[in-house]
Amino acid sequence: MNYCPHCGASIGGTAAFCSGCGKSLSAAAKPVHLVAAGVVALSLLVGILWATMGSNSADRRRGGPVASADEVETAADVASPDVVVEEPGFVGKLLGQKPRVFLTIGDGEPLALELTSAISTETATSGDTFTATLVKAILVDDREALPRGTELSGHIAHAQRSDKVKGRAALTLELDRLVLGDGEELLIEAEPMRFEAQSTTKKDATKIGGAAGAGALIGAIFGGKKGAAIGAGVGAGAGTGVVLSTRGDELVLPEGTQLKTNLTTTLTVEQME
């Protein structure tokens, strides 16, 4: 049975015009079975493409191509849980797409950094940001996951100026993110980096003792032994006052300071094969 391609009315096998709409049938109407066959063929093609893409998408294999049965032992020796290669699907291959590689940097990986700007407890406050760069590339199974010079940024978690006598200047730095070569930023977590100024206890004691001696000398001049005793007491108090009102050394990390820390979570970097 044939049908008019214009109105769908049934027509005879040799009719030149449609009895329903009167339009020309010079372009012969397609038999139903031929149309159905075309639909089935198209459906099969779509199904094959979908299955191919799905299988390739699921093929995130670790350490390289999926090994055949005869190569399982060899592949097991070479494969790495930190390297995952994802092949493009059927359409991706037709478009010339390259495989994607996922490199996982493990928890505890050491990071060697270099500050790109100075930090001082004299001006730093909690929440201020800082920047640094990697001074040593990070490798995953001989693949360079993070090159030397990779930019990192973080914040000052704690900043304390030197306090009177008891308190020493201190800083705590924490990393927040890194910038990949293509500009993509990745959030990271690492062990805090803590710094503390050296103690000034000996220097403070010298100040106190020196002031006390000077007070005793002044007291002896003005009032004999009693004056000397009073002067010593005043001198000690004055000396202590000098120390309490004078801050110790501030903590300064100059530009170029070498820092070390360790990742506390895993980090996955994507690259093209």
In a domain, 184, yes or no: yes
The answer to whether position 261 is within a domain reads yes
- Number of domains forming the structure of the chain: 2
Rounded Cα distance, 61 and 138, in Å: 22
In the prediction, which pLDDT does 10 show? Answer: 72
**Residues facing residue 195 across a β-bridge:** 171
Q: For residues 165 and 155, give the distance between their C-alpha atoms in angstroms, rounded to a whole number.
A: 28
Residues 6+ apart with CB under 8 A from 157: 126, 172, 173, 174, 192
Per the domain annotation, does 130 fall within a domain?
yes
- Statement to judge: residues 146 and 231 lie in one domain: no
Q: Give the Cα-Cα-Cα angle 117, 122, 124 (nearest 5 degrees).
A: 55
Rounded distance between C-alpha atoms, residue 89 and residue 51, angstroms: 10
* 159 assigned to some structural domain: yes
How confident is the chain (273 residues) per 10-residue block, as mean pLDDT?
A: 69 69 60 56 65 49 44 45 81 81 93 96 95 96 93 96 77 96 93 87 45 38 38 38 50 95 94 77
What does the pLDDT read at residue 4? 74
One domain, residues 115 and 179 = yes
Q: Are residues 180 and 217 in the same domain?
A: no
Residue 66 belongs to a domain: no
pLDDT of residue 168: 87
Instruction: Tell whether 177 and 204 lie within a shared domain.
Output: no
Structure tokens, 65: 């191509």
Rounded CA separation 113/190 (Å): 12
Q: Output the pLDDT for position 61.
A: 39
pLDDT of residue 19: 72
Q: Tell me: do 141 and 262 sit in the same domain.
A: yes
Instruction: Give DSSP secondary structure letters for 31-88.
Output: PHHHHHHHHHHHHHHHHHHHHHHHHHHT-EEESSSPP-GGGHHHHHHH--TTEEEE--
